[in-house]
Amino acid sequence: MEKKTIIKEVVERTVLEYHYSKEDVEELIVADLKCKGYKPNEVKFKTDYKYVSDEWGMNAHPTTVFKGAVIEVEN
């Protein structure tokens, strides 16, 4: 006679999220460049936009896309 055993596994996962503002990101970039010996002047964030729609091509709306950051520095 065959015997079946049902084993139930529960896996718990804890996730920690960090949220950064524009100012926080600027501070991180400036601190990184200062550690490398540069004097950053201005942090400019590059963005673009594109239209996103649903799978049927309807409900199109513009969405901003982050393209990077440009920083002017002095040696």
In a domain, 48, yes or no: yes
pLDDT at 49 over 80: yes
pLDDT at 53 over 80: yes
Of 40, 30, 31, 35, nearest to 75 (Cα)?
40
Give the pLDDT band of residue 57 (cuts 50, 70, 90): confident
Domain interval for residue 56 = 22-74
Q: Alpha-carbon Rg of the chain, whole angstroms?
A: 24
Q: From residue 34, give the alpha-carbon distance in Å to each of 31, 40, 45, 54, 60.
A: 5, 7, 18, 44, 42
**How many domains would you assign to the chain?**
1
Query: What average pLDDT does the segment 7-16 reach?
Result: 93
User: Percent of the chain at pLDDT above 70?
Assistant: 100
In a domain, 10, yes or no: no
Query: What average pLDDT does the segment 40-61 reach?
Result: 91
Q: What is the pLDDT of residue 58?
A: 86
In a domain, 1, yes or no: no
In a domain, 35, yes or no: yes
Structure tokens at 71: 């920083």
- Answer for the pair 42, 72: CB distance below 8 angstroms, yes or no: yes
